[in-house]
Amino acid sequence: MVINVNVYLFTILILCMFVNLGISLYGILSRPSLIKKIIALTIFSDTANTFAIIIGYRSWPNPYHPLRPPVLTVIEPSRGDIEYFTLVAVDPLPQALVLTAIVIGLAIILFLVFLTLQMYRLCGTTDVRKIAKLRRW
């Protein structure tokens, strides 16, 4: 029986990411501390970003047939060189998407940290259960 190492590792990686997404979603929804919620949200968006980065890979390195790195080494590349280059080079667009998503995530995390600080100033706690009790008063 031939085990395809690439497929095996790829599957484990993807499964781990989905488990990670699940755990961090649980953290956002049911941890009582606002700080821990923020940490869970960071993990959640980072997992999504890593997922986007993985999508960009065109060709997975294979231990039996190692790839040449996607670098054009001649000044005037032939058609075959360019075809090979586009086959193995990483797709840059998901990285651009992730860059945008990270910047937006930074803004939201900062805003949430500010709100948590404001909440701590107003209530003296960052525990959502205690805040809910305080609000009822």
Partner 1 sequence: MIKVYGMSSPIEPTQSVGILVPLLGIAAFTIPLFSLKIRRKEFYDYYTLLFSLIAFTLTLYNTWLVWSRGKPILYAYGGWIPPLGISYEVDMFSAILGLLSALVMLLITIYSIWYTRGMDGYEWYYTLLLGLETGLLGCIYTGDVFNLFVMIEVLAISAYGLVAFYRSRIQAVEAAIKYAFIGAAATTLYFLAVVFIYASFGSLNIADIAIKSREVYRAFTNIFSDGVFGNIFVASATSIALALWAFTFKAAVFPNHFWLPDAHPEAPTPVSAALSGLVVNIGAYATIRFLYTLFGVDSILTTFGYRDFVMWVLLILGIVSGVIGALLMIIQDDVKRLLAYSTISHMGLIFMGIAIGFSNIPEYIVNIGLTATLYHIINHSIGKALLFLAVGILIWASGTRSLSRMAGIGKLYPLVTVSIVVGFLQLMGFPICGGFFSKLLLYEAYVAAGMIIPALMVVVISAISVVAYIKVIYTIWIRPPIVAYERKSGIALALAIVLFMALMCIMLGLAAPIVIQWLTDSVVSSLSKEGVENYINAFLEFYREALKHLS
Binding partner 1 by CB under 8 A: which of 12, 15, 16, 93?
93
Smallest separation (angstroms) from partner 1 to the CB of 112: 6
Whichever of 5 and 113 has its CB closer to partner 1, that residue is: 113
The contact pattern for partner 1, residues 94-133, with x = CB under 8 A and - = no contact, is: x--x--xx--xx-xx--xx--xx-xx--xx-------xx-
At 57, phi and psi to the nearest 5? -70, 130
90-117 burial: b if 16+ Cβ within 10 Å, else e: eeeebeeebeebeeebeeeeeebeeebe
Considering beta carbons, is residue 67 or 91 the nearer one to partner 1? 91
Residue 74 to residues 71, 81, 89, Cα–Cα distance (Å): 9, 9, 16
Rounded to whole angstroms, how far apart are CA atoms 60 and 7?
A: 9
Cα–Cα distance, 30 to 28 (Å, whole number)? 6
Cβ-contact 112, 128 below 8 angstroms? no
DSSP code at position 71: -
**Residue span 21-60 as binding mask against partner 1, x where in contact by CB under 8 A, dash where not:** ----x--x-----x--x---x--xx--x--xx--x--x--
Decide: is 135 part of the binding site for partner 1 (CB under 8 A): yes
In the complex, the residues that contact partner 1 under the rule CB under 8 A are: 25, 28, 34, 37, 41, 44-45, 48, 51-52, 55, 58, 82, 86, 91, 93-94, 97, 100-101, 104-105, 107-108, 111-112, 115-116, 118-119, 122-123, 131-132, 134-135
